Every structure is written in C-alpha cells, then in structure tokens.
Amino acid sequence: MARAAVGIVGAGPAGLVLAHLLADHGIEAVVLEQKSREYVEKRVRAGLLEHRTVALLERHGLAERLRARGQVHRGVELRFDGARHRIAYGELCGGRHMTVYAQQELVGDLIGLWLARGGTIAFEAEDVRLHGIEGERPELCWSAGGRSERLACEFVAGCDGFHGASRPAIPAAALRVYDHPLPFAWVGVLAAVAPSTEEIVYAQHERGFAGHMLRSDTVSRFYLQTAPGDPIERWPDARIWDELHRRLATGDGWTLREGPVLEKSVTDMRSFVVEPMQFGRLFLAGDAAHIVPPTGAKGLNLAVADARVLADALALRLQTGDARALDAYSATCLARVWRVQDFSIWMTWLIHRIPDETPDAALRRRLQRAQLERVCGSPAAAATFAESYVGLEEA
C-alpha cells in the first residue's frame, strides 16, 4: 500500500495549492483527482485573483506564468440607469490590486509545477472512499483502470469541491449545515471576442444583471441574470447578445463587440457553509466546505486561503507535534468565510434585479437603489465596498 503524510482529494485550486505549500514545508502529499488532467485544465470557472492570493503564489514560486500573462486591475465599474461609475479600489485600498487570470490556467500551472517537482497526482481516480478518519490511520481507497488502489496517510484533506466524496464521509450529526439557495442564476458565456471594456463591469438593469468580465485580449466572459433552473437551451446565442446589448447599454456611446460563443452554461446561486470544517483527521478546504455566490468572485480566493491555513497547521503538527493550529483550523477559516459570505450575499442583492415574488420586492428595490447611489456617491461607502472586494486582510 502507498503511503504519504497527507492524502489530498481533489486537484482544484485548494488541493493543488495545499500540495505545493506542504512540499515547501518538506511534507509529502499525494493528490487524487477523479477527472482527467485534460479535463481539469480546460474547465472554465473563475478568473479574478485577489492581491493576497497572488502574493501567496508568488512567495511559493507558483506565479511565473500568472505574472507574465495575468492582467492587473485597479478599478471596477458599476452601471445603472445607463451611467457608469468607477470604484477605484486601487486608490481606495493603498494600491492593492486584482489580477485577471483564468482558473483553468492557474490549475494547469499548478499541475505542471507539481509534476515537475516530482509530485504525484492520481488522475481519473474513481469511487474515492475515505476510511478511518476518526482514528489515527486514515486510508484513501479508489479504483483506477479497473485496479483497486489504497493510500495510507496521517491526515486527509478534502479539497474535492461541493459534489466531492469528503464532506459526505463526515457523519451528518457532526456537521451544522447552512444551505441558502438564492433566487438568482447566471448564464455564463465565454466568447471569442476582444473585451469591450478595460475593467470589469457589473450592470444593474431592470431586465436583470449583466456582467462583462475579462479573460484575455481575444476572449471575454459575460454573465446574465436568469431564474434558477432555467435551461441553457432557452439561451440561443442571438438572445444572449441581445440581452447583453440591452443590459450593458450606456448613454455615452459605448458599444459592445460580439464574437462566437465558445461555451455557455447556467449556474444557480447558493450560499453554503458547513461547520466545523474538520472531523477527526479529515480537514475540508475550499468548495468542499463552503460555496459563496459568485458575484464578488471570491470562491477561488477562499479556497486558496483555506489551503494556506491548513498547510501551516499540518506542518506544525507533523513537524513539532503542536496541534493547536490544526485544532483551530475550522474556526480560523470560518471567520474569513462568514465575512466573505456576508459581502458576497450583500453584493449579489445590490446588483441583481430583485424578483417580483421576493417579499417586499418594491421596498427592497428602493433600498437597493439607495445603496447603489451611496456606494457610487460617498467616498466612505466606496472605500468599504472596495475593502471587501479587493480583500484587505494579509495573505
């Protein structure tokens, strides 16, 4: 049977960053991933990295391609009533910035660097099961190409996302679950077209939210608000462009460039947290433990922050026997998770069309407008928004 100090389930941002940080501490970890390498390196998801995420990756020598290819941003645009309002978060937050870099690029970088340093990833690991997490000798079992495989480890990191095998391995009675579906969904669109904006745009519109995000000089990402459960078949390309034109329109002659749609899908929004994020020798990190609505672009950044806390705590425990940081892992991470949930939910309600069936919809729309005007009109309110958006805490 194979052995490693830490068995990591999932080769997403959380699992891969954790693997690298542990290796920098001199701790051996093995990563299990149910999909193929090609699949995870092409999966389109997030694209906005906080300064502290980038700083962490830089400190560990994981940011060379990101630095060369990522785009640094210092402001974001809020649109409503056809007017544009720039929040200069760089100026408001002491020069801190965000970097646009596609998640699949980052995952590809982390996999390449991990394999180059001699690390192991068992791709296409099917039916991963966690055994003995309550005791001192946990084991991971899976099948690969019809063979049964086992890994004995001292600790297990469940970094396998919302639908993974790790969280369900914890007895339900040991977890408190906060699951809050939101009355919003996004049609996410990837298009082969140069961006029509230099900074990310969030547009609040009576037809629904529209977002113009950035990826590269030749590819752009767009989001359109729809209702949860809306099938993507109801969104032919012509309808997507028509809605984007209407919702992003401004009164100053700005125009939207169109291009071939490469990919599109609908994602329902939810807020989800489990407490605690640990059970016995299993530690959950990233989407396995929490989902934030994507509005504030925080999910990936939270996943990396969890990985950092977990790597340091595991290193202390494995190398000195001091378990205090590991015991406090969940509480340490949850403090950040709840602050980010608060901001992400607030921002979601700030820029989406409030559905008619929402209790007090008319009142809430008036309050929403007052908040938008305050964020765009008051330097103090803009600074508060910017602080959460850019993520002010240290890396």
Residues found near ligand FAD in the complex (CB under 6 A): 9-15, 32-35, 40, 45-48, 103, 125, 128, 159-161, 163-165, 188, 267, 286-287, 294, 297-301, 303
Round to whole Å and give the CA distance between 341 and 272. 9
Catalytic-labelled residue, pool 51, 298, 329, 352: 298
CB of 289 to ligand FAD, least distance (A): 8
171 is catalytic: no
CB of 68 to ligand FAD, least distance (A): 21
CA 379 to chain centre: 28
Question: CB under 8 Å to 370, separation ≥6 — which residues?
Answer: none
Tally helices (H) and strands (E) across the chain: 12, 19
Buried b (16+ CB within 10 A) or exposed e, 190-214: bbebebbbebbbbbbbeebbbbbbb
236 is catalytic: no
**Cβ distance to ligand FAD smaller for residue 270 or 364:** 270
Question: Which is it for the CA torsion 67, 89, 214, 273, positive or negative?
Answer: positive
Round to whole Å and give the CA distance between 8 and 395. 22
Question: CB under 8 Å to 226, separation ≥6 — which residues?
Answer: 185, 186, 187, 208, 235, 266
**Cβ distance to ligand FAD smaller for residue 45 or 84:** 45
Count of residues making up the chain: 395
In whole angstroms, how large is the CA radius of gyration of the chain? 21
73 is catalytic: yes
Share in percent of the chain as helix, strand, coil (round to 5): 40, 30, 30
**Cβ distance to ligand FAD smaller for residue 164 or 208:** 164
Catalytic-labelled residue, pool 89, 101, 202, 223: 202
**Cβ distance to ligand FAD smaller for residue 159 or 375:** 159
329 is catalytic: no
202 is catalytic: yes
CB of 26 to ligand FAD, least distance (A): 23
**Cβ distance to ligand FAD smaller for residue 278 or 363:** 278
Tell me the catalytic residues. Answer: 73, 202, 294, 298, 389
